[in-house]
Amino acid sequence: MLENAILVTGAGRRIGHHLALRLHQEGYTVLAHYRTHTTEIQALQDIGIATIQASLSDSQAILLFVEALKKQCSSFRALIHNASSFEATSEDLTVAAQQYEQFFNVHMMAPFLINQGLSALLVGEDDNPADIIHITDINVENPTPRFDIYGTTKAGLHNMTLALAKKFAPLIKVNAVAPGPVLFTEQHSVAVRQQMLDETLLAKEGGAEPVYLAVKSLLDNPFITGASIPVDGGRRLSKR
């Protein structure tokens, strides 16, 4: 049974994998969640990081996941909600309806049920509050119309940050980290990448480490709650 673990959801690749690895290197007990068993998950397992598999695609599966977490871990230092689906909204309404359901479940339902289900097990260090950290997106304040379903469900997660900060105080801090262009995806064409870089004050793709540094700063700071840290190289100021 793990104690005082940090749960990182969506740790099977990219930012989630980096967060799990860096928190482990920092000395935290990490529980890395994944949906697909990837070489990155194998690498985490090989260095002794505990893992747990689940699809967060419907309420039943999420509720089962909460029960499985309680069996694997007696207390949590932090919950980091990183799992996410990122796709442009389909022109086909039937497909858009499926996307809405999928994005709602992973961006809003899963964080809510996991936070609510595990809140009694969250314990901070040295009399300080424990942490819930939602990985959102700078799109929540200045949305991109082509990604409106993705953006609106991330905005719901942003609002949940504020609601749960009130609800869980003073024992748990609830904050968001809102990345901008940190790691491009296949959804970004060469032209879109260039436009994003042109709109980013610090003029580069930031990488996963700045996201980790924002997460770590929240874990280290006992007096921040209900806040959102943009990790976007300034893009929110100039994004069209």
Tokens found for residue 21: 């690895």
Q: Which residues contact 36 (CB under 8 A, 6 or more apart)?
A: 12
CB-CB contact of 8 with 16 (8 Å) = yes
User: Shortest approach of ligand NAP to residue 235 CB, angstroms?
Assistant: 10
Residue 152 contacts residue 143 (beta carbons within 8 Å): yes
Minimum CB distance to ligand NAP, residue 78 (Å): 16
For this structure, is 212 an active site residue? no
Annotated active-site residue in 28, 34, 150, 212:
150
Closest contact distance (angstroms) between CB of 143 and ligand NAP is 12
Q: How far is it, in rounded angstroms, from Cα 84 to Cα 139?
A: 14
Nearer to ligand NAP, 35 or 70 (CB): 35
Contact yes or no for 112/40 (Cβ under 8 A): no
Please give the residue ranges that form the binding site for ligand NAP (CB under 6 A): 10, 12-16, 35-36, 55-57, 82-86, 106, 135, 137, 179, 181-183
The answer to whether the CB of 154 falls within 8 A of the CB of 207 is no
Which residue lies nearer to ligand NAP by CB, 124 or 234?
234
Is-contact 164 118, C-beta < 8 A? Answer: no
| Nearest distance in Å: CB 85, ligand NAP | 5
* Residue positions annotated with a catalytic role: 150
